[in-house]
Amino acid sequence: MTRRFPGVTAVAEVDLDIYPGEVHVVAGENGAGKSTLMKILYQVERPDAGQIYLNGEPLSFHGPHYARALGIAMVHQEFALAPHLSVAENLFLGREPLRFGFIRRRRELAEARHLLEQVGLNLDPRRLVASLSVAEQQLVEIARAISFNARVLILDEPTATLTEQEIARLFEVIRQLTAQGVAVLYISHRLDEIFQIADRVTVMRDGRVVATLPRAELSEQKLVQLMVGRAITNLYPRPETHPGPVLLRVEGLSRRGLLHDCSFEVHAGEILGLAGLIGAGRSELARAVCGADPIDSGRILLDGQELHIRRPADAIRAGLAYVTEDRKREGLALDLGVDQNITLASLPVRLGLLLLRRERSVALHACQRLNIRTPSVRRKVRLLSGGNQQKVVVARWLETQARVIFFDEPARGIDVGAKAEMFALIGRLASEGRAIVLISSYLPELLNMCDRIAVMREGRIVGTLSRGQFSEERIIALATGASEVTIP
């Protein structure tokens, strides 16, 4: 397979074999060509050269509808759901069960419930997709792919927003499918899950395949070196920090139905983790503190002074920042340039006029500081890799001189090299005396990066652990309510 775009060859003479009943992981950094290759297989992208064979028969190009009819289904990294429709309507969009020209809603709901059960998602299929969390939407996407009775199932970063329990459930579903002879092509940046689920691993770099090996012949170090072309000695480069006085204190924050009497504090130079299952209220708490969502009661204090935050602009002026978990829908203006995105929250203006030279200078300095790789600061953000997009979001908040920064799933959907850079950046910001709140569903990130971890369950903070108390078992017990855990 070969696919060229103006100025770049995204996929270069790639050969790939996929067998029935296997999980074949395709690994590599952002920009390595993995997603483009998967889109070629799913007939979203037309190849410039090469041939696809299914069961030995050559396939012609007729688009995704044709691919699905042949039994090739794909769950994209970017969601393709209609937010204004219900879960059931999304699952059967374009192929609704009909009788005499009318949609059979009862049958649609019954079949939707069955599909949701298969991916461990317990919710009413009549709910609007817009009301679902990012993790729930991801599971709906997977359920829809399963509904096509696929012989080849392509999963592009399917666990990026899932908790450990949800990942375990997804892996059960994958194993059930492979036991039925389904071939699963699986893209992931999470090294631990690659070794959990893969039968074989193909590593891509710069659009080419550099190796295809059975899982047993790979070590984590060897896999990372194949992916990035160099050794990464520490994925979580956390510097030694010496937390100072309390910078941010939140007291009794509540929002009806979502948050209940939440109190926490974070010190200058400290990294505080927020752990919990999807739906525990971690993102909702961060959004409420930063003015994105209203609160019913509670106090927010910065340096001992109470803040009155009613909208994000109030939080920005006070020195609070929120790096959203969904950078493409909530964090970036995808059709604007890198420079415009970086200055979006702190426009350089004089007498009501935008200073374009100043904007360019600010963007260039930010790109150098954060190592944002782009041929031009005028380049549209949608054309950057996931890791560079994430750095653009962070650069914007640094330009506001934020003293408290909430990072919500900062490593979601970025490759291993970009993750190491992102965590190094978070460590540097803490060492500069900023207060950092790190939200993550991936416990190794919290255990390695944080000074303390606050655990949430059902909208409440149910415990806070100091570094000496860290353990996955204790965090999971607090997050699930599985047992009483006494914290000395």
Q: Is the pLDDT of residue 304 over 50?
A: yes
Distance CA 238, CA 425 (A): 9
Q: What is the mean pLDDT of residues 276-283?
A: 85
pLDDT digits (tens, 9 = 90+) for 411-448: 877 767 778 888 888 998 999 999 999 999 888 889 98
CB atoms within 10 A of CB 60: 8
User: Residue 372 — pLDDT band, cuts 50, 70, 90?
Assistant: confident
Backbone angles phi, psi at 462, to 5 degrees: -100, 0
C-alpha 404/C-alpha 247 separation (Å) is 8
| Confidence bin at 486 (pLDDT 50/70/90) | very low
Report the pLDDT value the prediction gives residue 316, as an integer from 0 to 100.
92
b/e burial code for range 135-146 (CB count within 10 A of at least 16 → b)? bbbbbbbbbbbb
35-57 pLDDT, tens digit per residue, is 889 999 999 999 999 999 999 99
Collapsing DSSP states into helix, strand and coil, what is residue 112? helix
Cβ neighbors of 263 (< 8 A, separation 6 or more) are 250, 251, 252, 253, 461
Q: Please check the confidence at residue 482 and state whether its pLDDT lies above 70.
A: no
Torsion of CA 91, 480, 443, 367, to 10 degrees: 60
Q: Is the pLDDT of residue 233 over 60?
A: no
| H/E run at residue 350 | strand 349-350
- Gap between the Cα atoms of 156 and 187, Å rounded: 5
Three-state DSSP state, 206: coil
Q: Which two tokens stand for residue 240?
A: 């030694």
Whole-number Å distance between alpha carbons of 261 and 259: 7
Select from 427, 250, 400 the least CA-distant residue to 319: 400
pLDDT of residue 460: 93
Residue 483 has pLDDT above 60, yes or no: no
In this prediction, residue 230 carries a pLDDT of 61
**What are the structural domains, with CATH classification, of the chain?**
3-228 (3.40.50.300), 246-480 (3.40.50.300)
Q: What is the pTM of this model?
A: 0.64
pLDDT at 484 exceeding the cut of 60: no
Instruction: Identify each DSSP E strand in 86-235 by its residue range.
Output: 98-99, 102-103, 152-156, 183-187, 200-205, 208-214
